[in-house]
Amino acid sequence: MGDQNERACTVFIVDDEPAITDALSTFASMLDLTARSFSSAAEFLQFAESEGLPDPACLIVDVRMPKINGLELIERLTTLGIDIPAIVMTGHGDESLKQRAEELGAVAFLEKPFRPDEFKEIMRLAVGTENDP
């Protein structure tokens, strides 16, 4: 990580768990990425709709959140025509969730607790996906 494209990438972290948003945003900053955290899907949707998303950007979202869960968030973004590579995280992964995430076009599915190296690789993949035509 660390070339011009990656440095410019903004990582949006959406999780209702403050420890996760704090740890991942610190981690993303460590990788020279710009990180922005949101504690709910609604909060992120409002931001994306009102301010638009920078390019390049990627989304890291937890599945299990109150009101609008992570997979519903991806669906709504697609409906709104907002295209952003998404990494889906979950603390209780099962095959059907993973399959659903893939169907929705998620670039990766991470089961908590994941290895930070694994996370770094997936970030690289997400950023790469964003830069591919």
Distance, CA of 77 to CA of 82 (rounded, Å): 5
Q: Which of these segments, 14-22, 53-61, 76-84, 100-108, binds other proteins (CB under 8 A)?
A: 14-22
Q: Is 2 in the site for other proteins (CB under 8 A)?
A: no
Q: Which of these segments, 2-10, 19-27, 45-53, 73-81, binds other proteins (CB under 8 A)?
A: 19-27
- In the chain, what are the helix, strand and coil shares in percent, each to the nearest 5? 50, 20, 35
For 116, the 3-state DSSP assignment is helix
CA atoms in the 13 A half-sphere facing the CB of 56:
22
List binders of other proteins among 44-103 (CB under 8 A). Answer: 64, 66-67, 89-92
- Per CB under 8 A, residues contacting other proteins are 16-17, 19-20, 22-24, 26-27, 30, 64, 66-67, 89-92, 112-117, 119
